[in-house]
Amino acid sequence: MKIVLIGSGNLATHLAIALNASGNEIAQIFSRTLENAKSLAEKTGARYTDDVEQIDCNADLYIFSVKDDTLPEILKRMPKTKGIWVHTAGSVPINVFVPYTDNYGIIYPLQTFSKNKTVNFADILVFIEGSNTETIHSLETLAKSISKNISYLSSEKRQYLHLAAVFVCNFTNHLYTLSAEILEKEDIPFDVLKPLIMETATKVMELSPKAAQTGPAVRFDETVMSKHIDLLTDGDMKYIYKILSESIYKHMLAIVD
Amino acid sequence: MKIVLIGSGNLATHLAIALNASGNEIAQIFSRTLENAKSLAEKTGARYTDDVEQIDCNADLYIFSVKDDTLPEILKRMPKTKGIWVHTAGSVPINVFVPYTDNYGIIYPLQTFSKNKTVNFADILVFIEGSNTETIHSLETLAKSISKNISYLSSEKRQYLHLAAVFVCNFTNHLYTLSAEILEKEDIPFDVLKPLIMETATKVMELSPKAAQTGPAVRFDETVMSKHIDLLTDGDMKYIYKILSESIYKHMLAIVD
């Protein structure tokens, strides 16, 4: 497939590299920041531009991988093209494309992407959606060229999947950040937490998260919890500690009932 | 070493099994619940009791692995014994033993333990502390028999390590629970999140948590965040979403500054 990629962020970067490696042709990369477009184009042998009017109109597929807030604006400025239009966002419904084209859809890879961390795209779950049978078939073929795990998912369901992903990925990673701060003040290297982080993730590959829950909040060990809140010097962190502990305890009561 | 174990919870269970497998003698297990003492005793060839007065007074080591709140009460009721007294708690200072004996310390394995999930004790970081050189040496020898990673850590530092562990393990696991609830309502299997959970953990083995952060909050994508808060029906979860997103954003501003 001949592909034009609109966007050059973390997801766009990993997707472009995976598509290129699987024999698809990344013909062109558009980014509002020319330097970013150029940098990604160099990795994939693509042309690049920061001018919407220079976008190649003869590709088979246009992938919009931009911040949700900027997608509507870019769609408005797009020239008329042939080919399918898709986006990669968790929380934008498929009907965003209705005013512009008949052949459109979604390619939603459920993963966290940072530019300086490689991922094995083949293991990533990719969720697709399309405006008609032919489009769905094309997107399925494309998705299968980069991943072994393809599922169809409606826009309605996809937004809940994205929401759940924010909890297990973005919020979880922020808890890692907060714990790194706690240790940094005490000159304890973050490395000591790594086996615990891996085991916490690994446990829920086998057990349900509820069955895997441990710690002072589930035992309602008030002595430990109030000591911990005293140790925290940052008001926000005290607050986060309290409401997560309360939530853990409420959920555990629900199990016992 | 001849060991008496006081407690039969998750940590006591895994520790007893690891100690037994490494050639130490678990002579006796005490638990207030006789059934629990018996069950763990059967796994380790130990005697068992629920009567403090029946505790064997001739062991080399007494390991107190009980809820923090109940430790002081059990210590008070203990008979006079020979041997070292240690506990396994993250947040209880070493001086809890001062009124009772001269040879005491801590064995603190930094891990999450559930009875129905095996762990490889050899990979667990074990932190020790002791009241005198001879005791420290004995605890070090014992710890080395079950783990390859032994460090000395003061009570002062240990409480911060425990606090950080609550964030990366207990709170993280609760985020997994909340996400499982979001998906359950939509009939989406929790399994779809597993690759994302593993990648989120794996990323911070290489990158710092701050460098690994992704998602709507770090981009301050207000459209996505307000959609997500609308999708959540539970008031507590809306609240958790808001304060974690705000905290992510604040930390990212701190990086840019």
Residues A218 and A111 in one domain: no
Mean pLDDT, all residues of chain B: 95
Q: How many angstroms away from the CA of A9 is the closest CA of chain B?
A: 11
Q: Looking at residue A255, what is its pLDDT?
A: 57
* Cβ-contact B11, B65 below 8 angstroms: yes
Helix, strand and coil percent figures for chain A, each rounded to 5: 55, 15, 30
Residue B50: phi and psi, rounded to 5, are: -115, 15
Residues of A in contact with B172 (CB under 8 A): 172, 175-176, 197, 200
Identity of residue A129: E
Ranges under pLDDT 50 in chain A: 256-257
End residue of a domain, out of B93, B123, B153? B153
Residues A79 and A119 in one domain: yes
Q: Give B8-35 pLDDT, tens digit per residue.
A: 999 999 999 999 999 999 999 999 999 9
**CATH code at B48?**
3.40.50.720
Query: Which residue among A193, A206, A210 places its CB closest to the CB of B177?
Result: A210
Q: CB pairs below 8 Å between A and B: how many?
A: 331
> Is residue A160 within a helix (H) or strand (E), and if so which, with residue range?
helix A155-165
| Helix-helix angle B194-206:A194-206, to 10 degrees | 170
Q: How many angstroms away from the CA of B201 is the closest CA of chain A?
A: 6
Residues A109 and A214 in one domain: no
* Cα A195 to Cα A38: distance, rounded to the nearest angstrom: 39
In B95-221, where does DSSP find H-type helix?
Answer: 133-146, 155-165, 172-185, 194-206, 209-212, 216-219
Residues A173 and A79 in one domain: no
Residue B132: phi and psi, rounded to 5, are: -160, 170
* Cβ-contact B64, B75 below 8 angstroms: yes
Mean pLDDT, all residues of chain A: 95
Place of tokens 């009791």: B49
Residues A177 and A242 in one domain: yes
Residues B28 and B80 in one domain: yes
Identity of residue A32: R
HEC secondary structure over B187-234: CCCHHHHHHHHHHHHHHHHHCCHHHHCCCHHHHCCHHHHHHHHHHCCC
Give Cα separations from A180 to A151, A217, B161, B163 (angstroms): 36, 21, 10, 11
Q: How many angstroms away from the CA of B175 is the closest CA of chain A?
A: 6
Can you give the pTM of this predicted structure?
0.94
Q: Looking at residue A131, what is its pLDDT?
A: 98
The two structure tokens encoding residue A220: 């309602």
**CATH code at B249?**
1.10.1040.20
Say yes or no to pLDDT of B254 above 90: no
Q: Looking at residue B253, what is its pLDDT?
A: 78
Q: Looking at residue A256, what is its pLDDT?
A: 47
CA neighbor of B178 nearest in space, from B243, B241, B248: B241
* Cβ-contact A197, A126 below 8 angstroms: no
* Cα A22 to Cα A17: distance, rounded to the nearest angstrom: 9
Is A232 in CB contact (< 8 Å) with chain B? Answer: yes
Is A176 in CB contact (< 8 Å) with chain B? Answer: yes
Q: Which structural domain range is residue B165 located in?
A: 159-256
Question: Which residues partner with B150 through β-bridges?
Answer: B126
Residue in A118, A149, A179 to test binding to B, most B beta-carbons within 10 Å = A179
Q: Give B99-122 pLDDT, tens digit per residue.
A: 999 999 999 999 999 888 888 999
* Cα A109 to Cα B136: distance, rounded to the nearest angstrom: 51
* Cβ-contact A174, B244 below 8 angstroms: yes
Q: Looking at residue B117, what is its pLDDT?
A: 87
Q: Do B179 and A190 touch (CB under 8 A)?
A: no
Instruction: Provide the chain A residues 125-144 that lie in CB contact (below 8 A) with chain B.
Output: 125
Give Cα separations from A111 to A161, B63, B166 (angstroms): 11, 43, 25
DSSP state of A187: T
The two structure tokens encoding residue A207: 């057990």
Residues B26 and B112 in one domain: yes
Residues B130 and B204 in one domain: no
End residue of a domain, out of A153, A168, A195? A153
Residues A19 and A102 in one domain: yes
Q: Looking at residue B3, what is its pLDDT?
A: 98
Q: Do A213 and B177 touch (CB under 8 A)?
A: yes
Give Cα separations from B54 to B6, B30, B77, B81 (angstroms): 12, 9, 11, 12
Residues A7 and A107 in one domain: yes
End residue of a domain, out of B120, B153, B186? B153
Q: Looking at residue B255, what is its pLDDT?
A: 57
Q: Do B212 and A188 touch (CB under 8 A)?
A: no
Residues B84 and B117 in one domain: yes
Q: Give B199-246 pLDDT, tens digit per residue.
A: 999 999 999 999 999 999 998 888 899 999 999 999 999 999 999 999
Q: Do A117 and B10 touch (CB under 8 A)?
A: no
Q: Which residues contact B118 (CB under 8 A, 6 or more apart)?
A: none
Q: Give B131-149 pLDDT, tens digit per residue.
A: 999 999 999 999 999 999 9
Q: How many domains does chain B have?
A: 2
Residues A68 and A192 in one domain: no
Is B10 in CB contact (< 8 Å) with chain A? Answer: yes
* Cα B232 to Cα A247: distance, rounded to the nearest angstrom: 15
Residue B62: phi and psi, rounded to 5, are: -115, 115
Q: How far is CA A239 from the centre of its chain?
A: 27
